[in-house]
Amino acid sequence: MTLSEVLSNLVSDRFYEMVFLHEKRKNKMKIVMLGAPGAGKGTQAKMIAEKYTIPHISTGDIFRANIKEGTPLGLEAKSYMDQGKLVPDELTVKILLDRVAKDDCRNGYVLDGFPRTIPQANVLKEALEKQNDKIDYAINVDVPDENIVRRMSGRRACVTCGATYHIEHVPPKKEGICDKCGSELILRDDDKPETVLNRLKIYHDQTQPLIDFYSNEGILKEVDGTIDVKDVFENITKILG
Ligand code: AP5
Ligand code: MG
């Protein structure tokens, strides 16, 4: 073999490897975030979406946007959310499947707050299987209940863009004002302590079983959510590569 043939083979192997790895990564970014209310799913999902250039899809954010616009969906969702209850599966599943069918989801997405019940997980699994596809990672952000109520009462959310802060751990530059868009920051209605306790109970009854569901699928990854936001993210990027 001549030197130029050897070089050409090396280049094509390297090229193949680059393309292959790129394709592999592109197809390996369907992520589900698991964790109790307030565990930091939204905080981490936003950072994942930015780093890997995939959409961040939060069913809670979709409902809150509808509430703000006063749509029929928003009105219906609000009646459940204000009590800390789950919005019925029929409503939630349709919204989610419509969203992941959009063009920007073809290289993956990070789901935050969906699935939240075993039936939701099964519907998602079946819908993906029909396209010969699957979820690649389920990341459980683990935070014990005792930390949750304290965290939620300190959370502040932007009324306009939905960005979240924490008065102690992730404070905005100017108190009560969103760094990103300058709007007012508020305590979400469902972050009041009595509603948080109800959300936690529902989490343990209906959502926590998803940890076993995804463990059985062989894609569960656990991260400690009690450490600093940046360190949680660093541990997630070690998993995602
Ligand atoms: P949703 O909006 O999904 O609420 P949730 O699951 O209760 O979760 P949160 O958004 O409250 O918490 P998070 O884990 O995103 O934490 P965050 O990053 O903000 O859903 C709301 C409601 O909509 C539900 O109750 C339900 O009614 C309905 N709904 C939505 N999806 C549904 C579905 N699939 N089916 C049925 N109903 C559905 O962080 C929390 C706070 O902690 C912030 O202040 C943050 O700054 C701070 N923080 C984050 N990480 C850290 C850290 N490492 N250290 C210290 N502070 C931190
Ligand atoms: Mg959230």
Q: For residue 193, what pLDDT is reported?
A: 86
Name residue 109's amino acid.
Answer: Y
Q: For residue 15, what pLDDT is reported?
A: 61
Q: CA 78, 80, 84, 89 torsion: positive or negative? A: negative
pLDDT tens per residue, range 134-144 = 999 999 999 99
Atom number, ligand 1, closest to the C-alpha of residue 170? 46
For residue 155, report the distance from its CA to the centre of ligand 1, in Å.
10
pLDDT tens per residue, range 176-231 = 999 999 999 999 888 988 899 999 999 999 999 999 999 999 999 999 999 999 99
Q: For residue 5, what pLDDT is reported?
A: 72
Distance CA 67, CA 191 (A): 16
Catalytic residues: 41, 116, 155, 188, 199
Atom number, ligand 1, closest to the C-alpha of residue 85? 27
Q: For residue 32, what pLDDT is reported?
A: 98
Query: For a substitution probing ligand 1, which of 143, 164, 227 has the most ligand atoms within 8 Å of its CB?
Result: 164
Determine the 3-state secondary structure of 52 from DSSP.
helix
Contact 223, 141 (CB under 8 A): yes
Q: For residue 74, what pLDDT is reported?
A: 96
For residue 35, report the distance from its CA to the centre of ligand 1, in Å.
9
pTM for the whole thing? 0.87
Q: For residue 162, what pLDDT is reported?
A: 87
DSSP class of residue 68?
H
Distance CA 84, CA 172 (A): 26
Q: State both tokens at 77.
A: 């969702």
Give the residue from 120, 119, 169, 176 showing the smallest Cα distance to 147. Answer: 169
Q: State both tokens at 155.
A: 């959370």
| β-strand partners of 184 | 177
Q: For residue 2, what pLDDT is reported?
A: 73
pLDDT along the chain (241 residues), means of 10: 67 59 62 97 97 97 95 95 95 96 95 98 97 96 92 92 92 96 93 90 97 98 97 98 91
Distance CA 208, CA 202 (A): 9
Q: For residue 192, what pLDDT is reported?
A: 87
Q: For residue 11, what pLDDT is reported?
A: 61
